[in-house]
Structure formats: C-alpha cells, structure tokens
Amino acid sequence: VMHPHTVLSVHNHYQQRGGEDLAFEQETNLLEQRGHTVIRYTDHNNRISGGGVGVALNTIWSRESFRKLRTVMRENAVSVAHFHNTFPLISPSAYFAARECGVPVVQTLHNYRLLCPAGTFLRNGKVCEQCLERKSLLPSVVHGCYRGSRAATMTVASMLQFHRMKGTWQDGVDAYVAVSQFA
C-alpha cells in the first residue's frame, strides 16, 4: 500500500517552451492523479530583461529562491523535492534550502547542463565533449558555447565550477533520474 506524500516539484521555465516543461507538467499531474499532494514552485525566464551582473550572480546563488523554497518546505510537510530545472533563476541554492529543511532531493537530468554549459554536448552542429574530456569548462568559455556568448558561457561555467567545488552535485542531490540509458 502506497501512502500519499507531499512532493515539492521545482522547475525554471525557459523562454521557449520545450520538453522539460511538458515533462514537468505531466509528472506533476500524474502524481496528483495517484493521490499525492504536489506543490509547484516555478519561475520563468521571461522575467529576465537583458543580463548583467545581477542575473549572473543569481545564476550561481539565488537568495530569493533559497528563502522562498525554505519557507515552502517549512510550512508544508514536504516528503521529497523533485527538481527538473533550476537554471538560471532558481539556481542550485534551492538544493541547500532542501538540505537545511531535511527534505530529500531528486534531480531529473533533462540535458547535459551539469557537464556542458550549453547543455547539449554539441558545438557547430557536431558532437563536442572537450569540457568532459579535459575536466575543465574553459573550452566552453573560449568557444562561447552558451548562446554564442563568451560572457554568458562564463556565467554558466562559473555556476557549474562553484557548485563542483562546493560539492553540490554530490552532496546536495540524493538521487538523479536520467531520461535515457545513454544519458
């Protein structure tokens, strides 16, 4: 017999709707149909105007998301926090809010963002695994892999490197869900 749980489902929508958005919606609906309580915490990249230092810093650590998610988890008996996407507005600070509240974290890997700033392992239409092979994100910055911009790529690479050094991906996530055996 399965007992109903309260699931915090977290997703940062991109400016263009895609498969991650659909997976988030379908999963949360399915959980509710199975009798679970789902609390949706979302943000949307449409609220980004321009870029700049504020967005860059927020990508690395969002104090706002940390505080809001910590409040949601403290005010509700959350059994598990399931993250789909935290990039860029929610940020990995969300995992730390869950950890502080004693809530286990599941992260679905919809792309390769944790290893490749572009999230695709593609450059100029060809497979590129330089950052993976070299264990360095520098090639992505040199080539401006994220949105064709070295500055934007530097922001993503900085976020990834900061959280690698902090151990976020190892200590802040209890389980990863890959979308395929290949991934």
Per-residue pLDDT tens over the stretch 78-93: 999 999 999 999 999 9
CA separation for the pair 59, 5 (Å, rounded) = 30
Average pLDDT value for the chain: 94
pTM: 0.93
Per-residue pLDDT tens over the stretch 36-58: 999 999 999 888 876 677 778 88
Instruction: Report CA 136 to chain centroid distance, whole Å.
Output: 20
Residue type, 96: F
DSSP string, 56-71: HHHHH--HHHHHHHHH
At residue 64 the predicted structure's pLDDT band, cuts being 50, 70 and 90, is: very high
Average pLDDT for 14-30: 94
- Spell out the residues 6+ positions from residue 70 whose beta carbon is closer than 8 angstroms to its own: 97, 100, 101
Tokens read off for 146: 């994220």
The answer to whether 46 and 12 have CB atoms below 8 angstroms apart is no
80: left (phi over 0), alpha (psi -120 to 50) or beta: beta
Question: Would the CA dihedral through 62, 65, 68, 72 be positive or negative?
Answer: negative
Per-residue pLDDT tens over the stretch 149-168: 999 999 999 999 999 999 99
Per-residue pLDDT tens over the stretch 99-120: 999 999 999 999 999 999 999 9
Tokens read off for 123: 């450059």
Identify the burial level of 51 via C-beta atoms within 10 angstroms of its C-beta, where 0-12 means exposed, 13-18 middle and 19 or more buried: middle
Q: What is residue 52's predicted lDDT score, i.e. its pLDDT?
A: 73
Instruction: Report CA 106 to chain centroid distance, whole Å.
Output: 11
Q: What is residue 14's predicted lDDT score, i.e. its pLDDT?
A: 87
Q: What is residue 68's predicted lDDT score, i.e. its pLDDT?
A: 98
Q: What is residue 45's predicted lDDT score, i.e. its pLDDT?
A: 86
Question: Looking at the predicted structure, is the pLDDT value of residue 144 above 90?
Answer: yes
Average pLDDT for 130-141: 94
